[in-house]
Structure 1
Amino acid sequence: MEHELLKYVIVILIAGFFSVFLCGYGCMKMKDAPGARYYILVTFMSAVFTFSYVFELTSSTLEQMKFWLGIEYLAMPFIPVFLLFMCFDYVGQKIKPWMYSLLYVIPIMTIFMHHTNDLHHLYYTSMEFNNDGPFPIIDLEGGPWFYIHSIFLFLCLMISIIILLMQLKKSVVRFRTQILLMVAGLVFPIIANYYYINGWSPYGIDLGPVSMSLSFLFHGIAIVSFQMFNVAPIARDIVFESIQEGVMVLNNQRIIVDYNHVMHTIIPILNTQTIGKPIEQVFDGNPRLLERISNGKACDHQMIIAGEKRYYHIRFSPVQNKNGLHIGKIISFVNITERMQIQEKLEHLASMDGLTKVLNRTFFIKQMEETFESLERDGGSMAVIMFDIDHFKNVNDTFGHEVGDYVLTHVAAIAKESIRATDIMGRYGGEEFIICLKNRSMQEAYALAETIRTRVSEKYAYINKKEIYVTSSFGIAHDSLGAGDNQEFIHSLMRQADQALYAAKRNGRNCVRSYTNALRYTM
């Protein structure tokens, strides 16, 4: 084989094998994606055309060349049609059935005209064996139908390019590279055919197969590097950059397909490099969110974004192709922060005693039970302080209930100022209050009760130009959680604190008493 011919054969063989690779890749990885079935067909037809042309170039007689040329023309006429269908399907435009059928007419007629050319010479006016160059080729003189097919091929490619460029305006920035690569791949066959028809190709070689190698190289980059068919088609009609919800699209392999700009503000780690990556890899640093997404069930999720607490309702919607096949899912993040804040405020108001602004009895016990659960898990101790205002009935009888309410808020405010943020305080009933201390010793609880008692007795309530002094009595109970303790532990502790409070009242009021073994026997 001539060295000059060998160079062209190697290039064309590379193009053929590359077409086979892309055809196989399409069958395995993207056969259900829009546009992919036509891509698979066009790469298959290209492979047939390319390998047949290799045999044509390496043939030594005119009859052999004509045979392999006939094989080429069983595949080549359909390539521009399948490229056009691929582009239509890619952008989501449906072709009317009559137009779909009409576009097959010229390729079928081309095959017929080519294989019956000896009878009418409408496709080639002459076919001659040329041995003047470094290797033999077949000289072809195009007839009327040859130019009809050439114009048809050119129009199919130009319409395909126009369809893609129109889609380019609608696409978000990160998908424009894919479309431009697709357009670039379609330009090469046009240039190659222009050179071939005008007789400018070296030694009269058909540059079509060589152009296909460049064309499918660009298409291959778009598919392998940018996941062309697994990215844009799924998202193009669904994900709109203008919507207010955060939207992320996954395919069936749990690979991130697309997201909108709102989603990027919610999850900043999303960027153009994360498209085409498995969600497990991208969300590796956020296992809680990954678990919620993996469950696939609608739920509420709390996040900290820019130092602020935000709430999102996560919901899932399936993505189906036009054949009804499930090809992915849409994950929407709806901002419900305002609603949750209102709900939290309502829950807070419902939990508070309207007069004293401390927890009411129901919510105090609920908070105490949550504290017990954390201690049950981690171990520790709990102290309960119960206190009330001495002779509060006299205050109401002497000064009226309005003054009595003021005294209640006055005492509650003093106690609230004295406790820590981790301590829980509630109004137990009437003029009686209760405080729950987590992991505080009996000595610490006693010191706190003594501090509150002293401040209450020293600070008067100034009402209607009158100084009203009140005192308070305190009962304390303390215990450590042991194995097998249950919710009865809480109620037992409150009963003990209540008994200690009554002991304080019996001992003259305005004092602090703790529930001890000595007290247990004297009561």
Structure 2
Amino acid sequence: METRLTMYITLVVTSGVMSAFLCMYAIYKRKDVPDARNLILLTALQSIYIFGFAFELASDSLAEIKRWIIVEYLGIAFAPVVGLMLVLRYMGKAVPRPWALAMYAIPLTTIALVSTNDVHGLFYKDIYLRENTPSPMADIVVGEWYIVHGAYTFGCLLAGGILLILQWKKTNKAYRKQLFTLICGQFIPMTASFLYLMGITPDGMDVVPFVLCITSAMYLWALLSTQMLRISPIAKESLFESMREGVLVLDLSERLIDYNPAAGRMLPELGAPLVGLTLDSVWKRMAGTEFPIERGLGGINGHLRWTSGGKTSEYEVRSSLIKKRAGDTFGSLLMLIDFTEQRMLQEQLKRQAYYDSLTGALNRARFVMQARALLQEKAPSRMPVSLILFDIDHFKRFNDTYGHETGDAVLVHVAAVCREVIEEGHLFARYGGEEFVIAMPDATLEEACEFAGRLRDALAEEPLLSKAGSLSVTASFGVTASRDGADSLDELLRQADEGLYEAKRRGRDQVVAYNKKELPAQHA
């Protein structure tokens, strides 16, 4: 028996050390854990109870045992109530202050009656030492208040366990591990206490102090691996379900704590294994890069483009802090607002305002605006800007002979051939009817004429394949260039038009420069 008693004391002390360590860890992480106060209090009360029980086992007399029993109840009387408070806080349930104080009425009465039991005998009617034991061990005859206290303790543990079980289906799968840990924290001590009261534990020993080692280890594991209690996921779940915006919940270290179903749909690569990782680590897992939006004084705000399954979506990203009632910050919300359709509409309106609807080239108004800006930009450095104005030869014949549908096809065909030749930085526009214009920054007159010749050859070499058969399409080109940045756009357009008119007068399908420098015609 003495060997078993030593083993019991060793196990109880180990359990007490585990609870004390969990308490110190909760104190250390109190800024990251929203309900750290209740967790610290619960583990401290459990530590008092466990170490008090260890000293009771090591006592030498009945009087000493009685003193340590009082210490034990300083912990065990309040722990079930604090545990229930922890559960309610986890669920986001606010307990009014009068009700919270009322919940401590029975534990306070228990402490008072245990401390004065020799006077009234309401808690235990008798306490006596067991016979034939190497060290004094006490048994009791329960009193009326012992039954009240036991029923209240069981009620708190059972209520907390049932409330948590009812939340199982509503809880994100990523958080069911921590929910299971909390459920075990309610039912394991209750089951152990029930077995002790039924008299079926080894040597009639109270095994609750032993099993608290298991619950402490589970709490510690949950805090380290699943960030338990950092954010209350159950309280947010119903709200998250109804939100159209995607929401990522981050703690103070920017670790992903939770996300709602909308965020899961927006970012299909999100999953439970990413919970607990930093935002940058999550993005590396999903996209191979760190989170692309820089952090600013106002948090994380910007635009995000995401491609998944061949579909590209655009999201506006906004962040907001999560604060306690006292004003302390313990996390942030990262909201993803889908504006893909809005951006598509903006692009559509932009195209309608800036681009020709048939050919996709810039329209005349947009070209004039950009070309004038280009001339102003190049004027201080006196860098040249060349202009090419060209007209489809005999365009009216296409409309009259084959119909306007074919005429439109000719315009689209010419624009497509031009895009194959045009270089980056060139401004290309449909100037009107069958006329097109190109502005070439930093290009001399000779370079512009050479480019117009390549464009003329490309048109000649690529006939239009239409319903009426293969149709040859040619164009006439007028070319000019600004001189020392002094020419206005209107003047350049007039000069290019004169060159175009001269090309037509000479028989079309030709390139003519405004300075009357005749270039060899390159007929097809």
Give the TM-score band, short-chain normalised: 0.7 to 0.9
How has the CA–CA distance of structure 1 residues 70 and 407 changed in structure 2, closer, same or farther, with 3 Å as cutoff?
Answer: closer
Paired positions, count: 494
Aligned to 1:100: 100
- Compare 118-127 and 219-228 and name the one that shifted more: 219-228
Aligned to 2:346: 343
Distance in 2 of aligned mates of 1:517 and 1:63: 123
Pairwise mapping of residues 74-223 of structure 1 onto structure 2 (< 5 A)? 74-130=74-130, 132-223=132-223
Aligned to 1:326: 329
Aligned to 2:232: 232
> 3-state DSSP class of the match of 1:95?
coil
The letter for the 2-side match of 1:306 is G
Aligned to 1:377: none
Aligned to 2:293: 291
Distance in 1 of aligned mates of 2:49 and 2:421: 78
> 3-state DSSP class of the match of 1:192?
helix
Pairwise mapping of residues 41-60 of structure 1 onto structure 2 (< 5 A)? 41-60=41-60
- Compare 75-84 and 381-390 and name the one that shifted more: 381-390
TM-score normalised to structure 1 length: 0.80
The answer as to whether partners of 1:46 and 1:76 remain within 8 angstroms in 2 is yes
Aligned to 2:457: 451
Cα deviation per residue 1:27-56 (whole Å; 9 max; x = unaligned)?
222456454321210100111111122122
Asked if 1:301 corresponds to 2:307, the answer is: no
TM-score normalised to structure 2 length: 0.80
Aligned to 2:477: 473
Aligned to 2:265: 265
How has the CA–CA distance of structure 1 residues 144 and 390 changed in structure 2, closer, same or farther, with 3 Å as cutoff?
Answer: closer
How has the CA–CA distance of structure 1 residues 422 and 162 changed in structure 2, closer, same or farther, with 3 Å as cutoff?
Answer: farther
The answer as to whether partners of 1:248 and 1:263 remain within 8 angstroms in 2 is yes
Aligned to 2:511: 512
Aligned to 2:316: 313
The answer as to whether partners of 2:318 and 2:334 remain within 8 angstroms in 1 is yes
- Compare 34-43 and 76-85 and name the one that shifted more: 34-43
The answer as to whether partners of 1:19 and 1:43 remain within 8 angstroms in 2 is yes
> 3-state DSSP class of the match of 1:236?
helix
The letter for the 2-side match of 1:226 is T
Distance in 1 of aligned mates of 2:493 and 2:451: 12
Aligned to 2:73: 73
The letter for the 1-side match of 2:341 is E
Distance in 2 of aligned mates of 1:268 and 1:414: 41
How has the CA–CA distance of structure 1 residues 503 and 236 changed in structure 2, closer, same or farther, with 3 Å as cutoff?
Answer: closer
The answer as to whether partners of 2:87 and 2:182 remain within 8 angstroms in 1 is no
Instruction: Please list every run of 5 or more consecutive structure 2 residues that lacks an aligned counterpart in the other structure.
Output: 376-383, 519-524
The answer as to whether partners of 1:297 and 1:315 remain within 8 angstroms in 2 is yes
Aligned to 2:380: none
The answer as to whether partners of 1:234 and 1:319 remain within 8 angstroms in 2 is no
The letter for the 1-side match of 2:476 is S
Distance in 2 of aligned mates of 1:87 and 1:336: 39
The letter for the 1-side match of 2:82 is F
Q: CA deviation at 1:261?
A: 2.8
The answer as to whether partners of 1:246 and 1:333 remain within 8 angstroms in 2 is yes
> 3-state DSSP class of the match of 1:228?
coil
> 3-state DSSP class of the match of 2:332?
strand
The answer as to whether partners of 1:385 and 1:449 remain within 8 angstroms in 2 is no
Aligned to 2:251: 251
The answer as to whether partners of 1:12 and 1:50 remain within 8 angstroms in 2 is yes
Cα deviation per residue 1:317-352 (whole Å; 9 max; x = unaligned)?
332334443322222222222221122111111112
Cα deviation per residue 1:289-344 (whole Å; 9 max; x = unaligned)?
43256663543332222212222222333323344433222222222222211221
> 3-state DSSP class of the match of 2:293?
helix
The answer as to whether partners of 2:92 and 2:232 remain within 8 angstroms in 1 is no
> 3-state DSSP class of the match of 1:80?
helix
CA RMSD of superposed structures (Å):
4.4
Instruction: Please list every run of 5 or more consecutive structure 1 residues that lacks an aligned counterpart in the other structure.
Output: 373-380, 462-466, 480-487
- Compare 445-454 and 95-104 and name the one that shifted more: 445-454
Distance in 2 of aligned mates of 1:169 and 1:470: 71
The letter for the 2-side match of 1:345 is Q
The answer as to whether partners of 1:223 and 1:229 remain within 8 angstroms in 2 is yes
